[in-house]
A and B are shown apart, each in its own frame.
Chain A
């Protein structure tokens, strides 16, 4: 029983540190592209890394912890946002998408990417996993949510999110390289 409890505590601490990483990445000042201030933040990089490094359950819980703390009122989201309005507002779906995004990335890393032997195939499969989970799944929640909340049709809602795609692609590449490198030097993260 003692070992079961201690591994549970360790898992909790891992979840907490990745939640803190997602939150801390929101502190980095948003980069403004063009005239319209579209905040490109690093937070989804943290979401991607949580799934890729901790696996499905713990990765998902890390995102969930950030969402819960933000909804409870801590200004953890990019630009110091927080509170219940974030979920009710037009971009609330992306926040829910984080939770499922890190879950999907975690599943793919655990059962697909980490079973690849060579570094090259790990990078390719890892990038595909992160593109699917970190961009595909998050937008799958975010775009229909905006559409339902505002009454815009899906096409316009998707068009509005296009501005974030370049930043997200860069983050996906960085997350893949970081995850593959860390898994090589820090083995046994997902047992």
Chain B
């Protein structure tokens, strides 16, 4: 779901503008009660995705999951109330998600994260430290492949002991080794004099 090399006109718009527009559209969609209008908007959202040259392959798994949930919603809502109601609800959700995909697929991860950090920046006044927030976010991403490696090692070791199918025998060492990695990383950061003092204060 990352904006992989999207260079369309949508990618050039500032992230804040797209995010704001999405918020406004989402609220607006709930005020529209007619399915005809929603069909028009759905086509509009699809045209937007097409015009931004989004690769629909990226959306495949997300769309399959969404459509499964929506078909469940459609059937139960149709049987409980009426079918027009069900259409309106399903079309609204589909349209909203299409607009959301249009924003997500044309905004780079960096730009989106920067926007979130801007939105969260007033938290500074209640004691949150922006440097620590950035450190936490980037470390979390860095730790994912590290944990995968640890998981494979632990599983191999427990396999040799005949414990590969015991969830506790894998999970407990995995958690403890993760905590060790965290301790080591924190010590390394301190040893290198990592200073997170808020320079904006």
Contact = CB atoms under 8 A, between A and B. Distances in A.
Interface of A: 5-6, 8-10, 12-21, 23-24, 27, 36-37, 39, 49, 53, 61, 65-66, 68-69, 71-75, 79-85, 88-91, 149-153, 156, 160, 174, 177-178, 181-182, 185-186, 189
Interface string B174-201: 0110110111011001100011110000
Contacts of A88: 26, 96-97, 100
Interface of A is mostly: helix
B196 A89 contact: no
B168 interface: yes
A87 to B, nearest CB: 8
A81 B60 CA distance: 10
- Of the candidates B22, B26, B65, B77, the one having the most CB atoms from chain A within 10 angstroms of its own CB is B65
B73 interface: yes
B129 interface: yes
Interface of B: 1-3, 19, 22, 26, 61-62, 65-66, 68-70, 72-73, 76-77, 80-81, 85, 88-90, 93, 96-97, 100-101, 103-105, 107-109, 112-113, 116, 129, 132, 135-137, 139-144, 146-148, 151, 167-168, 171-172, 175-176, 178-179, 181-183, 185-186, 189-190, 194-197
Given A17-B143, A186-B176, 4 more contacts: A9-B135, A16-B135, A75-B2, A174-B168
Nearest to B107: A73
B176 A74 contact: no
A17 B76 contact: no
A73 B197 contact: no
